Structure 1
């Protein structure tokens, strides 16, 4: 007996959900390695703006090739306003958020950085209600309290484990920078949904990353001039991994996940990120870990999991 149309639709929906979640979880894993690689490159003498510039410059040809290929395949070309909107949204998610994140990582631990970025679904919920009239359930308030109480605990933990030469003011500065990064990425998640629907996830990513790369290179030229930073083989390998495996690949995955399961599910599915980052930070960076970190992480993850 043939399956009814509704059964077929439900089956397709389940497949889309599974595929979307797989994309989101894989992207979360790759993103969880980002602070580890960045902190390692900082220990080798690199700094935020040169690293961000090289990262985007390496990634740009990939986005250009894929973008040109997709453009040629389009039967109906998008208008200039649609492209401009996608480019503007890209500045939020891939330029501003990255700039604030890399700058903040110069001051705080990889554990605090990943946990703060993991908390961005709370901002997605709040901003979604403000800008899009999304309904907010009663469970949101205690979830937000748990989330930001956990971040407060982690902030205190970073103050305690700060390496010599790092002041409380430095930790506070880094914390605020990464909170700004989370806010910028939350806006990107919300405003990207329209662009993905209009352009498709792959082409939208190419446009948004292209605009972010252009902004990054202009910033780099103003701040550093036209010369490349001092590089050796180790720094090049680390930067290549950061650019390809931790930037290009997960950026396409995130757009694909948003297209299939929506921004809310895509944002919450990164549960594994803080845990993986913490484990890698302890093993590879030698960052201290104690009960305060366990409590902070537990509160944030519980809070985010309760967001509806």
Structure 2
């Protein structure tokens, strides 16, 4: 009776691996819808500040519940300094980075935005070597060159698709803003390692998201013209816009973040991160399909080079 048990165990393990890979791919696809939804909401007249505020405000209750449950599981209460550090890092990674990204998406295609953000691991490597004491290895140079060659091609694709129009003049500014978003997120990842060890990933993420939401609320309070605060915090949008913002918050933010955690628990961080290569491809297909963005050979080549470069970089320990 003992002999048949091995295949059953092996089969169960394989099924768990398949399930983990499936939810990792779903998470990558859901994340890839973010720029599509944002560009679509822009076309309906939604502005940056109301969009990011509502996105975070709708997601906040979910993270508060997870944060509260995680707090209850702590054997020792964290110090004030630990909490303040997590708050500051959250403002960098989820407030500053999100604001730069949303402003940049006003001027560049969803395809270019997704590739620039997807290339953030290259910035993590560079910043880690320059400021965080990580060892330089010559093996990282070819993947970095491949990655940035791909970004250059996609940048040229955006400029070429817009021709001599006024919108083409805004592509450099949009690319700079999205690059700033990738840069601040890379800093967030490097700085968050210590806080994640101190608080755990779930509690840290909840604190970071909550602090970013408060930061956006404070910006709205101080930047809103007199008598127009309500139009930012609770704008008079159509049902279509509200559904789009809810999808941006829940389907492109909350759900994939929890799916990634579940995937890591089943197949590990390496396989989960590799499944993220689906993201730029999915964004490109959705942008061409829903937003009528153009797709040229240069665009395909740029996407392929960035995905290849980041994938090779991720394989170097």
User: TM exceeds 0.5?
Assistant: yes
Cα distance 1:17–1:119, how it changes in 2: closer, same or farther (>3 A)?
A: farther
Q: Which SS does the other structure have where 1:124 is aligned?
A: helix
Q: 1:305 aligns with which of 303, 308, 311?
A: 311
Partner of 2:5: none
Structure 1 residues not aligned, in runs of 5+? 1-13
Aligned-pair CA distance for 1:188: 1.4
Are 2:34 and 1:34 equivalent residues in the alignment?
A: yes
Number of matched pairs: 294
Structure number with bigger Rg: 2
Which digits, 9 at most, give the CA deviation of each residue in 1:34-91, with x for residues without a partner? 0011111111111211100111111112222222233233332111111111111111
Q: Which moved more, 1:271-280 or 1:25-34?
A: 25-34
Distance 1:97 1:20 in 2: 29
TM-score by length of 1: 0.86
Cα distance 1:74–1:60, how it changes in 2: closer, same or farther (>3 A)?
A: same
Aligned-pair CA distance for 1:207: 0.3
Q: 1:270 aligns with which of 253, 272, 276?
A: 276
Partner of 2:235: 229
CA contact (8 A) 2:119 2:306 kept: yes
CA contact (8 A) 2:150 2:301 kept: yes
Aligned-pair CA distance for 1:267: 5.5
CA contact (8 A) 1:32 1:114 kept: yes
Which digits, 9 at most, give the CA deviation of each residue in 1:209-235, with x for residues without a partner? 000111111112233342133311001
Partner of 1:178: 178
Partner of 1:51: 51
Partner of 2:246: 240
Partner of 2:111: 111
Q: Which moved more, 1:64-73 or 1:89-98?
A: 64-73
CA contact (8 A) 2:36 2:286 kept: yes
CA contact (8 A) 2:111 2:287 kept: yes
CA contact (8 A) 2:121 2:310 kept: yes
Runs (4+) off by over 6 Å: 14-23, 255-260
Partner of 1:65: 65
Counterpart mapping for 1:184-263 below 5 A? 184-224=184-224, 225-227=228-230, 228-253=234-259
CA contact (8 A) 1:31 1:246 kept: yes
Distance 2:196 2:129 in 1: 20
Q: Which SS does the other structure have where 2:137 is aligned?
A: coil
Distance 1:249 1:68 in 2: 18
Which digits, 9 at most, give the CA deviation of each residue in 1:125-170, with x for residues without a partner? 1112223322333221121111111111111111122289643331
Structure 2 residues not aligned, in runs of 5+? 1-13
Distance 1:182 1:258 in 2: 22
Distance 2:17 2:30 in 1: 20
CA contact (8 A) 2:107 2:167 kept: no
Cα distance 1:266–1:196, how it changes in 2: closer, same or farther (>3 A)?
A: farther
Are 2:292 and 1:286 equivalent residues in the alignment?
A: yes
Q: Which SS does the other structure have where 1:167 is aligned?
A: helix
Cα root mean square deviation, aligned: 2.7
